[in-house]
Amino acid sequence: MIAASDLRAGMTFVQDGKLIKVLDASHHKPGKGNTVMRMKLRDVRSGSTYDTTFRPDEKFEKAMIDTKPVQYLYSQDDVAIFMDLETYEQYEIPIATVQEEMKFILENMEVKIQFFGDEVIGVMLPSSVVLKVVETQPSIKGATVTGSGKPATMETGLVVNVPDFIEEGETLEINTAEGTYQKRANK
């Protein structure tokens, strides 16, 4: 069992038979009354997200999640196909379940898939990925790192705000937790 005050982003717990993933969690102390935990949660199976509050002392069953290294092969119709790197077994995951994660994944990229028992419930990304810029405004002569930046579309369709000096065709390191530009990738 785990208390609501100990839940953090990325953790998964069971509530009323549903598998729930914490997207965001914060303590909130209103002017009057007791402290509450504000949470943004996602039902892992249905994909629906919602905001709620819990008392800090409420208890939940922590979900035991296992991970397995896999390689992303391709998407077909509305499923993403991943292959176990040891057994070559293939897993089909509905794209609706991993829609946000797919913005960071290229074909043949290695990631980890998460299991709850025998059920595949999601994809775990590395902390950063290297993606190529396919579309952005031309760079501005004399642009500095401190500029406000411009949007750039990456090869997966992800749109990231990048510094003004970045050009099409460059490869960038992208933080997967926030979906933000970190730096130019080493060539």
List of residues 6+ apart from 59 with CB closer than 8 A: 1, 2, 3, 4
Q: Say yes or no to pLDDT of 22 above 80.
A: yes
Give Rg (Cα) of the chain: 20
What would the pLDDT profile of 125-149 be if each residue is shown by its tens digit?
888 888 888 888 876 665 555 567 7
Distance CA 83, CA 88 (A): 6
Mean pLDDT of 41-70: 84
Sorted by where each starts, the structural domains of the chain and their CATH numbers stand as 2-62 (2.30.30.30), 66-124 (2.40.50.140), 128-184 (2.40.50.140)
Residue 13 banded pLDDT, cuts 50, 70, 90: confident
Mean pLDDT over the full length of the chain: 83
Strands 159-162 and 90-94, sheet pairing:
unpaired
Strand ranges, E, within the chain = 2-3, 12-15, 18-28, 36-43, 49-54, 59-62, 66-76, 79-84, 90-94, 110-116, 119-124, 128-136, 150-154, 159-162, 171-175, 180-184
- For 91, the 3-state DSSP assignment is strand
Mean pLDDT of 27-53: 82
The per-residue pLDDT for 12 is: 85
- Establish how many alpha carbons lie within 13 A of residue 95's alpha carbon, considering only the half-sphere containing its beta carbon: 10
Residue 57 banded pLDDT, cuts 50, 70, 90: confident
The per-residue pLDDT for 143 is: 52
Instruction: Report which of residues 50 and 138 the model is more confident about.
Output: 50
Mean pLDDT of 11-24: 84
Residue 187 banded pLDDT, cuts 50, 70, 90: low
Distance CA 153, CA 136 (A): 6
Closest among 34, 32, 81 to 56, alpha carbons compared: 34
Q: Say yes or no to pLDDT of 47 above 60.
A: yes
The per-residue pLDDT for 149 is: 79
Mean pLDDT of 35-57: 83
Distance CA 83, CA 19 (A): 24
The per-residue pLDDT for 145 is: 54
Residue 170 banded pLDDT, cuts 50, 70, 90: confident
The model's pTM is: 0.70
Q: Say yes or no to pLDDT of 2 above 60.
A: yes
- Establish how many alpha carbons lie within 13 A of residue 40's alpha carbon, considering only the half-sphere containing its beta carbon: 5
